[in-house]
Amino acid sequence: MCGIAGIYDRTGQPIDRELLQRMTSSMHHRGPDGQGFFIDGAIGFGHRRLSIIDVQGGAQPISNEDGTLQVVFNGEIYNYVELRNELAALGHLFKTAADTEVILHAYEQWGAGCVNRFNGMFAFAIVNIHDNTMFLARDHLGIKPLYYVIIGKLLLFASEIKALIQYVACPREVDPDSLAELFTFRYVPSPKTLFKGILKLPPGHVMYVSATGARVERFWKWTPRLRTRWTEEELIEEYQSVLEDAVRLQLRSDVPLGLFLSSGIDSGVLLAIMSQYSSGKVQAFTMGFEGGERTNEVADARLLADMFGADHYFEMVGPKDYLDYFERYLRDLEEPVGHEAASAFYFLAKGTSRHVKVALTGQGADEPWAGYDRYLGVKLSNIYNRLPMMVTGLLAGLVTQMPGRFERLKRGVVSLSEPDVLTRFTKVYSFFSAEMKEKLFIAHLRERSGDGYQTKEAIRRLQSDVQCLDPVTQMLYIDTRSSLPDDLLMVGDKTSMANSLEVRVPFLDYRLVEFIESLPLDLKLNGLTGKYLHKKALEKWLPKDVIYRKKKGFDNPLAEWFRTGMRSFVEEALLSKDAAVGRYFNQQYIGQMLERDRNGSEQFRRHIHLLVSFELWHQEFIRI
Residue type, 330: L
Please give the distance of CA 563 from its chain centroid, rounded to a whole number.
Answer: 28
The confidence score (pLDDT) of residue 557 equals: 83
Q: Quote the CA–CA distance of 435 and 452 in Å, as a whole number.
A: 8
Q: What is the pLDDT of residue 443?
A: 87
User: What parts of the chain have a pLDDT lower than 50?
Assistant: none
- What pLDDT score was predicted for residue 260? 98
Residue whose C-alpha is closest to residue 107's, from 148, 64, 59: 64
Options 3.20.20.70, 1.10.3720.10, 3.40.640.10, 3.60.20.10; CATH of 2-218: 3.60.20.10
Are 489 and 512 in contact by the 8 Å Cβ rule? The answer is no
Q: In the chain, what are the domain boundaries?
A: 2-218, 232-365+482-547, 373-433+453-480, 557-624
Pick the CATH number of 232-365+482-547 from 3.80.30.20, 3.40.50.620, 3.40.50.2300, 1.50.40.10: 3.40.50.620
Q: Are strands 213-218 and 69-77 parallel, antiparallel or unpaired?
A: unpaired
For residues 24, 259, 330, 316, the Cα torsion angle rounded to the nearest 10 degrees is: -140
Does 232-365+482-547 match 2-218 at the fold level? no
Query: pTM for this structure?
Result: 0.94
Query: Concatenated DSSP letters for 273-292?
Result: HHHHH-SSPPEEEEEEETT-
Print burial letters for 318-346: b (CB count within 10 Å at least 16), e (below 16). ebebbeebbeebbebbbbbbbbbbbbbbb
Residues 6+ apart with CB under 8 A from 608: 559, 562, 570, 574, 593, 594, 597
Total H helices, total E strands in the chain = 29, 19
Measured distance CA(499)–CA(495) in Å, rounded:
7
What integer pLDDT is reported at residue 415 of this predicted model?
Answer: 63
